Amino acid sequence: MAYSPEDRPVRVAAAGDLHCRPAQREAVRAAFAAIAPDVDAILLAGDLTTHGEPDQAAILADACRDLDVPVVTVLGNHDWHVGRRDELVEVLRDAGIVVLDPGAVVLEIAAREVGVVGAKGFVGGFPGSHLPDFGEPLLREVYAAAGREVEALERGLCEVATCPVRIVLLHYAPILDTIASERPEIWAFLGTDRLAAPIAEHEPHLVLHGHAHAGAFEGSIGDVPVFNVSIPVMGRDFAVFELAGASAATAAVH
């Protein structure tokens, strides 16, 4: 039987919480150069920089500029810290990195459309630690900001609904499973299960996030696998995921 490109799995490398700084320049370059030949795309789950400085973003940009595979990223809280978000994004996009803040992109991989929906996500908590839509205007704005991220995720999933492979890329966690080993008193600041609602409805094939450095690697939203790809959690530069078959079932490659 003749070989068909659709028969082979889509392979994506993922990492979050790179926290790039000048001392890491060569290590970052080497890590991306090493993984790129073995995958179809690289997905980054935010906190690309230490403080959100454009020169820190340039370290990542320089590592990705000449790669032969697409690099797609969301931003994290560290990338917003000094208030230079627009400059930072310009540095990344000038190097060909796709920045979803929020948004969706369709990649053509192995004769298939791979839809990647990206959003930073936000804080808000989980059962027992939810921030309320009540009280002072500043607190209610935190609730509203999380709501805007949820709405963006919903829109993006609608945009890629017909793609045979669909991936959600976040910074903040959408479930408790992958942050439960963190201290309970900080759960509300590590993500919110409000992000899980559009994921449960649309059932993408893979969800990736970072942010929770002491969290767990694997969880799920129903049948949808969710992975915390924060580098401190993984203990390595990247995790590689294969998405294969008609159902685009996922498996982590260690």
In terms of Cα–Cα distance, which of 61, 63, 62, 57 is closest to 30? Answer: 63
Give pLDDT tens digits for 9-41.
Answer: 999 999 999 999 999 999 999 999 999 999 999
Instruction: Indicate the DSSP class of residue 184.
Output: G
Q: Decide the pairing of beta strands 224-228 and 206-209.
A: parallel
Question: What was the pLDDT predicted at 5?
Answer: 54
State the average pLDDT for the chain.
93
Pick out the chain residues at pLDDT < 50.
Answer: 1-3, 254
Structure tokens at 1: 């039987």
- What is the torsion angle, in degrees rounded to the nearest 10, for the CA atoms of residue 227, residue 202, residue 174 and residue 239? 20
- Residue carrying structure tokens 């990344």: 92
Instruction: Give the domain ranges of the chain.
Output: 5-253
Question: Within a 10 A sphere around the Cβ of 40, how many other Cβ atoms?
Answer: 21
Nearest to 57 by CA among 83, 105, 18, 16: 18
**Cα–Cα separations (whole angstroms), residue 39 to 116, 158, 179, 217:** 15, 26, 27, 20
Q: Answer whether 46's CB lies under 8 Å from 76's CB.
A: yes
Give the strands of the sheet with 71-74, arranged side by side: 98-99, 71-74, 41-45, 10-15, 239-244, 249-253
Q: Which two tokens stand for residue 172?
A: 């903040």
Instruction: Specify the pTM.
Output: 0.94
Class of domain 5-253: alpha beta
Q: How far apart are CA 99 and CA 85, in angstroms?
A: 11
Query: What spatial distance separates the first Cα and last Cα of the chain, rounded to whole Å?
Result: 31
